[in-house]
Amino acid sequence: MADAIDHSTKGLRQAGLKDCNTNSVSDLLDIWAGTSQDCNFNLVPDDCDLASGASQDCVDILGTGIPDECEAILVPPNVPDETTEPGFRNNRYISVKPGNPGQTTALHVSLTRSGTFPSAAESYWYVGAPQSICENSALKFATGWCNGGTCSAASPSFGAGCVQDGDCCPSDPGAGPRWFWGAKISAPGMPGACNPAFVEWSGSCSSGTCIGGLNNNITCMTDDDCEPIVRIYGQPVVPNTAYTMRSISQSACVGKLSSAVMGLGVHTTAAWGDVTRNFACPHGSPDGTVDLIPDVISVSDKFSNVNCPVTKGRADLEPAVPDLLNNISDVLACLNAFSGVPYPFAMAASCP
């Protein structure tokens, strides 16, 4: 039988017809009949493109049998502009809008340049799954707090109405957000290290309600209301450092950045200990210097949850992996930075 197939394939080739998958049917007829797909319209069956290496379908994530170039085109994660959205330039957090509504993507973070760790340039990591994090200085995750539209007994807002878990966090003294979406980078040596979380981050606004994404079912006016800001944290996020953000599809080559990896967004963290420029509400962006007033006092105020404090992302300075709390250790870290003590923690290793 094998000889018959070889003979038939040879006959097709002698007639000037290609039969790359050796099924005794010309490639053009396979494509015309729908037996083989040709998503990139190069008149070569997709399975042959993949077999020859002309196209990639990286099975180390989710081999779909579709060439990567035919996957949905992704847009870059959007880095909020500090001039129009003050509060997103932090020491230990990177704020992004993942974009790509209705699509399941992961976030890739690479270190472009660093005044704190110059030798770490070109290191990279992947972002883990998002969680609801309370802005209150003494609380962390709000996971599972909203059940059936009502805050559970485990939450500080027992009995109150809710749409998302974070709605059950305590109210902010300055009438600011109760919570935010946070996602952790797990560096080598930690649980979940170098494993990207594929998430439908963003949805679309339809008839006043977000459809899909992390903000599913919340009230909206525009699609922008359905695109959450996610604050990324972990040991790799350090002060005075520029990071490049990428969206990757489920068929992208992890560690290889294939053609399915699309878009760049660049975020630069603030100088070590630089939290704000003033006490205005909302607080101004970091100004490049560390002062007793307002920086150290602002972190102290956040620890005490006073009226209109800085955000948790600005004031959470330590330990090596931020602990999602604002406490006296953060105040002391900022005071040390004011005193000239350099950033005290080691840099995380890059993913392989």
pLDDT per 10-residue tile (average), the chain, 352 residues: 50 67 87 84 86 70 61 63 61 90 88 94 92 95 94 95 95 78 90 86 96 95 93 96 83 45 67 89 85 93 87 94 97 97 96 86
Rounded to an integer, what distance in angstroms lies between the CA atom of residue 315 and that of residue 286? 12
Q: Is 278 domain-assigned?
A: no
Residue 52 token pair: 């020859």
If asked whether residues 103 and 251 sit together in one domain, one would say yes
Q: Give the per-residue pLDDT at 298.
A: 92
Q: Give the ranges where the chain is alpha helix by DSSP (H).
A: 2-14, 27-33, 46-52, 297-304, 312-315, 328-338
Same domain, 51 and 114: no
pLDDT at 31: 87
Order of strands, sheet of 106-114, starting from the edge strand that comes earlier in the sequence: 93-96, 230-233, 179-185, 124-134, 106-114, 241-248, 261-268
51 and 139 both lie in a single domain? no
In a domain? residue 244: yes
Rg, Å, the chain Cα set: 25
pTM of the model: 0.78
What value does the mean pLDDT of the chain take? 84
The whole-angstrom separation of Cα 349 and Cα 124 is: 9
Q: CA quadruple 246, 262, 194, 112: dihedral positive or negative? A: negative
Together in a domain, 99 and 180: yes
Number of domains making up the chain: 2
* Domain membership flag for residue 240: yes
Q: What are phi and psi of 87, to 5 degrees?
A: 110, -5
* Cβ contacts of 250 within 8 Å, gap of 6 or more: 61, 62, 64, 104, 105, 106, 198
Please check whether residue 348 lies inside any domain of the structure: no
174 and 250 part of one domain: yes
268, 295, 321 - which closes a domain: 268
Query: Do 42 and 115 have their domain in common?
Result: no
pLDDT of 261: 41
Is there a domain that residue 310 lies in?
A: no
Q: 43 and 100: one domain?
A: no
The answer to whether 152 and 167 are in contact (CB under 8 A) is no
Query: For residue 341, what are the contacts with CB-CB under 8 A and spacing of at least 6?
Result: none
For residue 280, what pLDDT is reported? 74
Is residue 113 domain-shared with residue 241, that is, in the same domain?
A: yes
DSSP state of 272: T
User: Are 97 and 12 contained in the same domain?
Assistant: no
Q: How far apart are CA 290 and CA 276, in angstroms?
A: 9
* Pairing outcome for strands 230-233 and 179-185: parallel
Residue 141 lies in a domain: yes
- Domain-located, residue 165: yes
Between the alpha carbon of residue 44 and those of residues 30, 251, 293, 303, the distances in Å are 9, 20, 67, 63
Residues 33-43 have pLDDT tens digits of: 888 888 777 88
Eight-state DSSP code of residue 89? B
3-state secondary structure of 268: strand
Q: Phi/psi class of residue 168: alpha, beta or left (left: φ > 0; alpha: ψ in -120 to 50)?
A: alpha
Residue 12 and residue 130 share a domain: no
Domain that holds residue 34: 2-55
CB 343 within 8 A of CB 238: yes
- Each residue of 293-320: b (16+ CB within 10 Å) or e? ebbbbbbbbbbebeeebbbbbbbbbbee
Tell whether 122 and 258 lie within a shared domain. yes
- My answer on whether 126 and 207 are in the same domain is yes
